[in-house]
Amino acid sequence: MRKLKTFNPATGERIAEFDITTSKEIQAMVGKAKKAQITWAEKSICDRAEIIIKAYEELKNRTKQMADMIHVEMGKICEEALGEVESSIKKIPIIADDVVNALKSEEINDGLTRTISYWDPMGVCASITPWNFPMGMPQTLIIPSLIAGNTVLFKPSEEVPLIGKEYADILNKTLPEDVLQVVIGTGDQGRELVESDVQLITFTGSQSTGKHILEKAVKEFKRVILELGGKDPLIILDDADLSNAAEFAANNSFRNSGQVCVSTENIFVMEGQKNEFIQKFIEHTAKVPVGSMINHSQKTHVLKQIDDAVSKGAKILFGNPNDDVGNNLNPVILMDVTPEMDIMVDETFGPVACIISVKNEDDAIKLSNLGHYALGGVVFGTDIKHARNVARRLDAGMVGINRRVGGATGSPWVGAKRSGYGYHGSISGYRQFAQLRIVSEST
Ligand code: NAD
């Protein structure tokens, strides 16, 4: 039996060991999921939501334990781990309500014909997730899918199977048998899942894996929802409050060691304000607590981008990346970054912020829209109408003005260009977990 081992990224200590799910087991699980889906779909959507909400109580009792597990298996600092668990738990009843509302059938009557739309379950869904929010990411894919009446085969990232398994075990205390099953493994098991007899694939992860999944899925018309990587800009307009912008930039570039899809990676600041901004940014950066990077290969990727940038003329303003030991990497601020450097156009997913000084906002927008990523972006400025115009010229799927990108309750989480394909959250997002059918009759 092949094993999957996980280690504490900060200390190297062994955390857990699991049997990797075999191909035969995956096929058997798909069979069980198909069978279970029939009775799961026969329940009303409200009953399914009710069952999920019961799990919410159990999760609340396990808050501290889940947060500790995230801290040791994924490496984020305790405070952030607790924040992830608390906010995930708080969202469960909200997601449940939103999904129930999104999937209510609707009637249209034009006087001649009455048509009723139904949002039916898709069938069996594969949910494949990354490691950076080991509870938050699975939840955003699993809960809507289950409430929509699908059964789910969930594959957590190979970096965090302990947390994924624990989360599923808690949900399984209230769910009927085989409605939610866990596949343990690496990309190989993810690939097998994608190629198995599933009707829907929900995925959060890198652009390259997303592309691979899309190519496979399209051959059999499988439905997909892909939330992929980002390269988020922060544009500081000349009327921005520089202190607020600097504080935001430090938190949003370095929280979770920069391992957030909507981390601020490129900061565009007007030439005249550069020095003042840099001074404030460094002051705030020095106060941000950082955890460990997830593994050696992610750290190597980040160091390679820094080396490439420095070899092409970028300067390190803050941090000594080559002095950090193990998987630790303290914040790094680079300046004089240009589009010829990988770090300006490819996702870093680490604690590095690049400062690019520009003559005007048109240059900032043009440079922000380079490349294939278009997940989030942030604009700082006091004239909100003007900041909104700048926001509307960015390619990003989500833009925050003087704040993070996430929208009001009920908003979608959406990437544009190659940062996403389909999306979730919101009425239109949750409908993507279901199959629309209409029945019409003459009136
Ligand atoms: P990844 O793409 O390497 O892996 C994600 C998952 O896919 C893992 O479970 C992995 O085992 C599996 N996988 C790998 N190859 C596969 C294949 N060929 N077929 C099927 N499954 C496969 O990503 P990661 O390193 O775990 O996560 C980091 C990435 O996730 C970053 O790019 C980040 O921006 C992105 N992310 C995006 C969002 C968003 O909302 N858009 C949120 C979080 C993370």
Say if residues 257 and 293 touch (Cβ distance below 8 Å): yes
The fraction of the chain above a pLDDT of 70, given in percent, is: 100
pLDDT value at residue 81? 97
Residue 2 is given by DSSP the state -
Classify the phi-psi angles of 77: left when phi > 0, otherwise alpha if psi is within -120 to 50, otherwise beta: beta
- Per-residue pLDDT tens for 299-310? 999 999 999 999
Q: 205: CA distance to ligand 1 center in Å?
A: 2
> Measuring from atom 19 of ligand 1, which residue has the nearest CA?
191
Chain-wide mean pLDDT for the chain? 97
Residue 362's contacts (CB-CB under 8 Å, 6 or more residues apart) are none
Ligand 1 proximity of 31 Cβ (cutoff 6 Å) = no
Say yes or no to pLDDT of 324 above 90.
no
pLDDT value at residue 130? 98
pLDDT value at residue 1? 80
Ligand 1 proximity of 212 Cβ (cutoff 6 Å) = yes
Say yes or no to pLDDT of 253 above 90.
yes
Closest by Cα among 193, 164, 146, 182 to 37: 146
> Measuring from atom 30 of ligand 1, which residue has the nearest CA?
205
pLDDT value at residue 290? 87
Ligand 1 proximity of 324 Cβ (cutoff 6 Å) = no
Closest by Cα among 333, 336, 303 to 318: 333
Mean pLDDT of the 35-42 span: 98
Mean pLDDT of the 376-391 span: 98
> Measuring from atom 16 of ligand 1, which residue has the nearest CA?
187
Instruction: State the sign of the Cα–Cα–Cα–Cα dihedral 87, 90, 92, 95.
Output: negative
How far apart CA 216 and CA 126 sit, in angstroms, is 13
Mutation probe of ligand 1 site: the residue of 129, 206, 226, 414 with most atoms within 8 A of C-beta: 206
- Per-residue pLDDT tens for 77-118? 999 999 999 999 999 999 999 999 999 999 999 999 999 999
Q: 90: CA distance to ligand 1 center in Å?
A: 24
Ligand 1 proximity of 426 Cβ (cutoff 6 Å) = no
pLDDT value at residue 133? 98
Mean pLDDT of the 177-195 span: 98
Say if residues 156 and 181 touch (Cβ distance below 8 Å): no
Mean pLDDT of the 187-198 span: 98
Burial 333-359 (b: 16+ CB within 10 A, else e): bbbbbeeebbbbbbbbbbbbbbbbbbe
The residue ranking higher by pLDDT, 159 or 323, is 159
Question: By CB neighbour count within 10 A (0-12 exposed, 13-18 middle, 19+ buried), where does 287 fall?
Answer: exposed
Closest by Cα among 198, 84, 81, 194 to 145: 198
The residue ranking higher by pLDDT, 58 or 46, is 46
Say yes or no to pLDDT of 322 above 90.
no
- Per-residue pLDDT tens for 265-295? 999 999 999 999 999 999 999 999 888 899 9
Closest by Cα among 182, 166, 204, 176 to 63: 166
- Per-residue pLDDT tens for 109-147? 999 999 999 999 999 999 999 999 999 999 999 999 999
Ligand 1 proximity of 186 Cβ (cutoff 6 Å) = yes
Say yes or no to pLDDT of 361 above 90.
yes
Instruction: State the sign of the Cα–Cα–Cα–Cα dihedral 417, 423, 428, 432.
Output: positive
Closest by Cα among 273, 294, 239 to 356: 273
> Measuring from atom 14 of ligand 1, which residue has the nearest CA?
187
Q: 389: CA distance to ligand 1 center in Å?
A: 32
pLDDT value at residue 323? 86
Q: Which element (helix H / strand E) includes 34?
A: helix 23-42
